[in-house]
């Protein structure tokens, strides 16, 4: 679904306009589907939705939370990570800071902030949480609740090399421009499922990360 962007050139998205829209449209209500096996997140793609229904019957729910850190530069950016190449799951992939929700976490927001500190050393004092995005299901059985947050510039990162190889920023304008949202597909048990990819320079952003960024575009940038 392509539609009007924020007013003006997508390359000139201002931080103020983006965050004003995000604060008006997002809340901190935790969706029941994060932990209810009978509620499966919808993706908008029939093939993917059927895949998630199959996975929900075969695997226990694994609730997770991630942080979408939008850095408040004059031309805002999104802070992303590249997972370590030696990890068992999603090795080398581009991700948001985040992970499984622990029983000791006060909320999915607390999980996202904790994981951002543990993975890349992003201090909470620089993070202003805005609200939760839509629940996102993955083919690995995770149900991810993303937190959109404004990040004040001036932070210093400490990369945890056991989990992350690198952290880098991508212009928000690039990620929110539907011209950069490539739609690919592959087969899952005879079902054709679609997924987004947003290659940026030498980085290949795809899968759940690109899918969540597409949801961010649809929730914040469309009328």
Residue 200: other Cβ atoms inside 10 A: 15
Which pLDDT does position 176 carry in this prediction?
95
CB 69 within 8 A of CB 151: yes
Which pLDDT does position 108 carry in this prediction?
98
Measured CA to CA, the distance from residue 77 to residue 173 in angstroms comes to 8
Which pLDDT does position 139 carry in this prediction?
78
Q: What is the DSSP string of 100-137?
A: EPPTT-SSHHHHHHHHHHHHH---GGGEEEEEE---EE
pTM, entire model: 0.91
Which pLDDT does position 65 carry in this prediction?
98
| Cβ neighbourhood burial of 104 (10 Å; 0-12, 13-18, 19+) | exposed
pLDDT along the chain (223 residues), means of 10: 48 82 97 92 78 84 95 95 70 86 97 97 98 91 95 96 93 95 84 88 93 95 88
Domains and CATH numbers, the chain: 11-221 (3.90.79.10)
């Amino acid at each position: 679904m392509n539609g009007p962007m924020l007013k003006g050139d997508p390359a000139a998205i201002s931080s103020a306009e983006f965050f004003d829209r995000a604060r008006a449209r997002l809340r901190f209500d935790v969706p029941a589907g994060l932990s209810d096996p009978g509620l499966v997140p919808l993706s908008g793609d029939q093939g993917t939705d059927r895949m998630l229904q199959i996975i929900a019957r075969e695997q226990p729910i694994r609730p997770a939370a991630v942080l979408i850190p939008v850095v408040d530069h004059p031309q805002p950016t999104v802070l992303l990570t590249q997972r370590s190449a030696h990890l068992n799951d999603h090795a080398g992939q581009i991700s948001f800071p985040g992970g499984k929700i622990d029983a000791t976490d006060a909320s999915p927001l607390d999980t996202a902030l904790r994981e951002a500190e543990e993975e890349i050393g992003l201090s909470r004092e620089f993070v202003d949480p805005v609200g939760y995005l839509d629940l996102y299901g993955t083919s690995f059985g995770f149900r991810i609740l993303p937190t959109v947050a404004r990040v004040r510039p001036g932070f210093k990162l400490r990369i945890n090399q056991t989990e992350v190889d690198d952290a880098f920023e991508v212009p928000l304008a690039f990620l929110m421009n539907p011209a950069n949202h490539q739609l690919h597909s592959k087969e899952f048990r005879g079902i054709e499922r679609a997924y987004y990819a947003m290659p940026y320079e030498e980085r290949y952003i795809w899968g759940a990360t690109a899918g969540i960024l597409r949801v961010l575009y649809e929730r914040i940038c469309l009328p």
